[in-house]
Amino acid sequence: MSSAPDCHPDLATVAALRQEPVLTRVPPGARGLLVKETVSCGWAGSAPPALGMLDSEVTGGDSDDVARFYTDLAGSSGWQTFGGGDQLYSGAKPDGTDCTWQLQVVSTAERTYHVRITYTPRDLRPTCL
């Protein structure tokens, strides 16, 4: 695996993402855990680099109710829904730098969900991968 030179998390972006309602609110009756942050700027073969990610685990609630909650919340906070995949919700939002943030809400176990937002680290922004 090779790495992009000088690839770092974008502290301003992470701070803005931590304020996003999809990371600060959980469905009624559910419980949210701490948001975990990761960033990886390496390449594996011809695959694009992994991006920065914030991930929050949410427990409790029926998957249909969780899907409706995040669909409504994301829509009211500027996320644009796109279909496809096995996610309960997936969408994108412009980040103000000609790149986009990607949001996925996935079911990982019975009544356990992950709310994941990926972003392009500042050193990779010219490519907006």
Buried b (16+ CB within 10 A) or exposed e, 38-74: ebbbeeeeeeebbbbbbbbbbebbeeeebbebbbebb
Which sign, positive or negative, has the C-alpha torsion 107, 129, 46, 44?
Answer: negative
Give residue-wise pLDDT tens across range 6-60: 566 778 888 999 999 999 999 999 999 889 988 776 655 555 555 788 999 999 9
pTM score, whole prediction: 0.84
Report yes or no: 86 and 36 within 8 Å, Cβ to Cβ: no
